[in-house]
Structure 1
Amino acid sequence: MTSEIRALLREELQGLSAYGAPQLDVAVRLNVNENSYAPPTEVVRAVARALEGEIATLNRYPDRDALKLRADLAAYLGHGLTAEQVYAANGSNEVQQQLLQAFGGPGRTALGFGPAYSMHPLLAAGTATGWVDGGRGPDFGLTASHVEAVLREYRPAITFLCSPNNPTGTALSLDVVRAALAATSGIVVVDEAYAEFARPGTPSALTLLEANPRLVVTRTMSKAFAFAGARVGYLAAGPEIVEAVQLVRLPYHLSALTQAAARAALAHADVLLSTVEQIKIQRDRIVAELRERGHQVADSDANFVLYRVARDGSADETDQKVVWRRILDAGVLVRDVGLPGWLRVTAGTPAETSAFLAAVETSDSLPAAVETLEN
């Protein structure tokens, strides 16, 4: 960007970098938490039929309110939800952006607890909403008392809670969500992008919706549904929240093709979600084997694992960027999330997990590096 254009950019956007991860052509890509399993043939055929049914009428605008899709999403979520309590958009990122457009903006603040999803502060900046990082404990946990204290201090218009959290994988107790709702008069958004991968007994904030009109739960079809390329995200909330978000949406924001594809996928939810248990097995395998080798590993309820590159509690002189490069040289792409000393890996197929663990073993056997390599 030239200095002339940079000077014209809004001040709060100057110096920022666009969200993204390296997109490299390597044998094993485990850096963006995709589902490694492609949609089964019967789902591919069902989506193709659904798209074919829409192509002949592409001269017409799609259903502006996506009512049939919203009804299908409500049925999938359960908890007595109806279409009036669900809203869909192009990925959960767009849903969250529209929440910020509706409830944030100049003079208002959004708050999250980092390390968390790095897109949230960028969405805040893009909507001219102030951002506060409330921080987490050294174990990446989040307590109700900490959340309450931070919210009472900053009084945000919007609070983001991630459960399971990205990049740590840790899930939240519902006591934390309740504490947030009690401590603020603003909107509380629980980002549950990875909820389908949670371990048994992990609660969903969906159970709190009926009694809390300021609560929003966002979800996505990108992860568990293996539908990342379709870009479908959604929220569940009270009808008033849905009405408010519709004030800032773009006209006909969700294409007829996207709606048709998503509905076909939801009709085959049992088939698509059959890979979730397989992925959880590989996630738990990664956690167990890395811990056996002496690595510190965050508990995970997601389809990824965050681990410390140094072993046996030793100091992190070995930069995570160097280890990232070593693993890449072994043909495996993982994610450097910018957390000093830590890397994140997506749980994939058994073969991909084996390739990652072999790459880590090779990296661990090399002497500590002193150089820093940029990724």
Structure 2
Amino acid sequence: MRDNLPERAEHGGRVRWHRTREMGELLDFSANVNPYPPDIPWIPDVSALKDYPDDRYVTLKEEIGRTFGRDAAEVAVGNGSVELIRAFCSAVLGTGDAAYVESPTFAEYGVSVRLAGARCTADENGAAVRFLCNPNNPTGKLLTRVEVLRLLEGVAGRGACLFLDEAFIELSDPAQSVVDVSHENLFLLRSLTKSFAVPGIRFGYAFGAPELIERVETVRLPWTVNAFAESFAIEAFRHYDLLEESRERIARERAWLCSRLDVLNLGYAPPSANYILIEVPMEAEVLVGRLLSRGLLVRDCRSFGLPRHIRVAVRTHEENRQLIEALEACLP
């Protein structure tokens, strides 16, 4: 039995767990999902459950390919983005390899690297893989397309691979995406469930050179995208352009939230997506507890190495107003 397993990563979105502890209804600001999702005309087809899904997911990959102008052979799918992170690391990294993960960022990168038998390093030049989250979670920092392409050129020049996580770019600024770029040293990750506010179905997808995609798909467990997730995803990609309205509404609410945080004299990282990293004048754990007692769940950022920060999702205007009122009551 392995005794060197990494610790499990901490995540937001634990609202169902809290509800089972008889805390009643909660406003979940800890999970960064679209507060204004497109209305998708999808009804689950129960008859689809009697058959196994097509584990090649040909129809789904073709729909994704049409949406982004990519060949279906350049598309991988998985049970959420985390499965694809794990599969990528298992397919690319091994004992003796190193990966560069800049902190603070999504904890699953480091966990997946270690589970693959590799290690994380602070020396980018010696890394086989360079991880980049754009916009970054939890800071919200967004690199421009030009900056990402320049970084890709440098990584490829060292013979390494760039793992680019664009899970939140659809709710930020898609013009900065490089989803149209086919490069043998690039693996690009996306998450449909955040954009369409259906995290419960678990669906992620990715792009890469066909040879890399084949390796990732070989490592991925079979049939992990269930029939309902596949069906919803196909319908969602057919309505992908509706996310434009979501981005516009999120941007307005984000600006309002920031203006209220300014009034409260709270510092925050310049946001670009549907969440804000806030510096608070107390231990995050204490503030999180106070907010929870008022029915609001926010992300405690201690697991990111930020003991005096919380991360809050941008939600509807009425919900955001309740967050500001709760912060006014809970802050010293």
Greater mean deviation of Cα atoms: 218-227 or 274-283: 274-283
Is residue 47–residue 260 contact of structure 1 (8 Å, CA) maintained in 2? Answer: no
What amino acid is aligned across from residue 284 of structure 2 in structure 1?
Q
1:181 deviates by 3.9
* Count, aligned residues: 318
Q: Say if 1:263 and 1:247 are closer, same or farther in 2 by CA, change over 3 A.
A: same
1-side partners of 2:173 and 2:162: how far apart?
23
Alignment partner of 1:94 is 2:83:
yes
TM-score if structure 1 supplies the norm length? 0.78
- Sequence identity (%): 28
Give the structure 2 partner of residue 197 of structure 1. 171
Give the structure 1 partner of residue 311 of structure 2. 344
What amino acid is aligned across from residue 326 of structure 1 in structure 2?
R
Give the structure 2 partner of residue 179 of structure 1. 151
Q: Say if 1:115 and 1:187 are closer, same or farther in 2 by CA, change over 3 A.
A: same
Give the structure 1 partner of residue 192 of structure 2. 221
Residues 9-60 of structure 1, C-alpha deviation per residue, up to 9 Å, x if partnerless?
Answer: 43143xx2453344323431110212345663xx3x5232xx24523xx2x4
Match for 1:20 among 2, 7, 11?
11
Superposition pairs of residues 92-171 of structure 1, within 5 angstroms: 92-132=81-121, 134=122, 150-152=123-125, 155-171=126-142
2-side partners of 1:186 and 1:293: how far apart?
45
Q: Say if 1:321 and 1:95 are closer, same or farther in 2 by CA, change over 3 A.
A: same
Give the structure 1 partner of residue 287 of structure 2. 323
2-side partners of 1:109 and 1:186: how far apart?
10
1:86 deviates by 1.2
2-side partners of 1:221 and 1:333: how far apart?
23
Match for 2:272 among 301, 305, 311?
301
Is residue 334–residue 344 contact of structure 1 (8 Å, CA) maintained in 2? Answer: yes
1:264 deviates by 2.0
Alignment partner of 1:75 is 2:48:
no
Mark the runs of 5 or more structure 2 residues left unpaired by the alignment.
Answer: 20-24
Residues 177-212 of structure 1, C-alpha deviation per residue, up to 9 Å, x if partnerless?
Answer: 523542431211110000012248x511224x23x3
Secondary structure of 2:195's counterpart equals: coil
Is residue 172–residue 247 contact of structure 2 (8 Å, CA) maintained in 1? Answer: no
Give the structure 1 partner of residue 4 of structure 2. 11
2-side partners of 1:341 and 1:82: how far apart?
45
2-side partners of 1:19 and 1:66: how far apart?
31
Match for 1:247 among 218, 227, 239?
218
1:255 deviates by 2.6
> Larger radius of gyration, structure 1 or 2?
1
Match for 1:206 among 179, 185, 189?
179
1-side partners of 2:198 and 2:312: how far apart?
19
Secondary structure of 2:233's counterpart equals: helix
CA RMSD of aligned residues (A): 2.2
Is residue 152–residue 186 contact of structure 2 (8 Å, CA) maintained in 1? Answer: no
Taking CA–CA contacts closer than 8 Å with sequence separation of 6 or more, which of the two structures ends up with the larger relative contact order?
2
Alignment partner of 1:357 is 2:324:
yes
Mark the runs of 5 or more structure 1 residues left unpaired by the alignment.
Answer: 1-7, 135-149, 311-317, 367-375
1-side partners of 2:27 and 2:153: how far apart?
41
2-side partners of 1:356 and 1:253: how far apart?
36
1:172 deviates by 1.5
What amino acid is aligned across from residue 72 of structure 1 in structure 2?
E
Secondary structure of 1:206's counterpart equals: coil
Is residue 306–residue 345 contact of structure 1 (8 Å, CA) maintained in 2? Answer: yes
Residues 137-173 of structure 1, C-alpha deviation per residue, up to 9 Å, x if partnerless?
Answer: xxxxxxxxxxxxx421xx2122110000001111123
Is residue 90–residue 231 contact of structure 1 (8 Å, CA) maintained in 2? Answer: yes
Secondary structure of 1:81's counterpart equals: coil
Is residue 190–residue 205 contact of structure 1 (8 Å, CA) maintained in 2? Answer: no
Greater mean deviation of Cα atoms: 31-40 or 216-225: 31-40
Is residue 291–residue 330 contact of structure 2 (8 Å, CA) maintained in 1? Answer: yes
What amino acid is aligned across from residue 135 of structure 2 in structure 1?
P
2-side partners of 1:326 and 1:235: how far apart?
39
1:234 deviates by 0.6
